[in-house]
Amino acid sequence: MTAALNSSTRTRRADGSNRPRRGSSNRPRRGTGGQGFRYLVLTVGALVMVLPFLYMLSTSFKSQTYVLTIPPQFIPHPATVSNYREAWTSDGFARYFVNSIMVAVASTALSLLLSSMMAFAFARFSFPGKELLFKVLLLGLMIPAMMLIIPQFILAKYLGLIDSQAGLVVFYVGSSLSLNTFLLRGFFQAIPAELEQAMQMDGAGAWTRYWRLILPLAKPALATATIFTFLGSWDEFVWALTIINTPSKRTLPLAISLFQGQNSTLWGLVFAAAVIAVVPVVVVFLLFQRYFVQGLTAGAVKG
């Protein structure tokens, strides 16, 4: 009887009658419920992030009469560009825009230069107190900016930087060095040291290796630092309000605040000015966004 069972088993295996049908799988199918819920959460989050900007953009094309209508209208009717014309031609707005461009570009360029040199030193050189100095530098990421207003003001007064755009640049650079150095150091450490050793054998010094090898290979990290630094310098309001007194030296955030009156505010005008202020930030992000995620991930994980 045992022989008969074995023969029957071999027969079924031979003709394949007990095998699963072709194209079928015994593995459980992945449920679509979890994926659908994930998409729903991401969609809701995207709407929460985008709706305020869309409302600001819509309101900038409305006349003052239709600004605070209930329910809110996301498609302005009738649409007008008078808010943009009035905002740009208002007293000193174009000058404030140029001031912000100059301050943000100078702060970004100087911060990237200094932080990249510091990051190169921390990533490649060995010197006494290296790790301690790096940890002290990172303390700048833990101190709230508002706690530094009074010490910064005293230092700016001592250095003669009150009521000057140089005072803005110096302290914007100082406030961004910690984060930029942290990001760039992590990326520099990921670059193979053999490349530098090959250049060093050819007689290249530290500056040549930094300028001609490290910086070209670190474009993703530099792009990330550029976006963060430019955005921080462009949107900063409190420090500019603290030290700038002369109207001709004001930056764009101060100009937008002037559109808000004590009794009433022309919100269409304010939102039009805000949209104008957003344009350079969007342009900078579009120029460097292809490197942004790669540089941010490298600096955060490999530091």
Q: What is the DSSP string of 178-203?
A: HHHHHHHHHHHHHS-HHHHHHHHHTT
For the chain, give the mean pLDDT: 83
96, 250 in Cβ contact below 8 A?
Answer: yes
Q: What is the CA radius of gyration of the chain?
A: 29
Residue 25 is classified by DSSP as -
Cis peptide, bond prior to residue 128, ω within 30 of zero: no
The Cα diameter of the chain in Å comes to: 107
State the pLDDT confidence band at 4, using cuts at 50, 70 and 90: very low
57-116 pLDDT per residue, tens: 888 888 876 666 677 777 777 788 888 988 888 878 889 999 999 999 999 999 999 999
Task: Let me know: does 104 contact 85? Beta carbons within 8 Å.
Answer: no
**pLDDT value at position 286?**
86
Task: Tell me how crowded residue 285 is: count the other CB atoms within 10 A of its CB.
Answer: 15
Angle separating helix axes 93-124 and 267-301, nearest 10 degrees: 10
- Extents of the domains making up the chain: 35-80, 91-301
Backbone φ, ψ for residue 76 (5° rounding): -65, 135
Read off the pLDDT band of 298 (50, 70, 90): low
More confident residue, 148 or 266: 148
Q: What secondary structure does DSSP assign to 83-117, as a single string?
A: HHHHHHHSTTHHHHHHHHHHHHHHHHHHHHHHHHH
List of residues 6+ apart from 231 with CB closer than 8 A: 281, 284
* Contact criterion met (CB below 8 Å) for 167 and 250: no
Q: For the chain, what percent of residues have pLDDT higher than 90?
A: 38
Give tens-digit pLDDT for 161-219.
999 999 999 999 999 999 999 989 988 998 888 988 899 888 888 999 999 999 998 88
Digit-coded pLDDT (tens) for 45-62: 888 888 888 888 888 888
Using pLDDT thresholds of 50, 70 and 90, give the confidence band for residue 5: very low
Contacts of 246 (CB under 8 A, 6+ apart): 163
What fold characterizes domain 91-301?
Answer: MetI-like fold (1.10.3720)
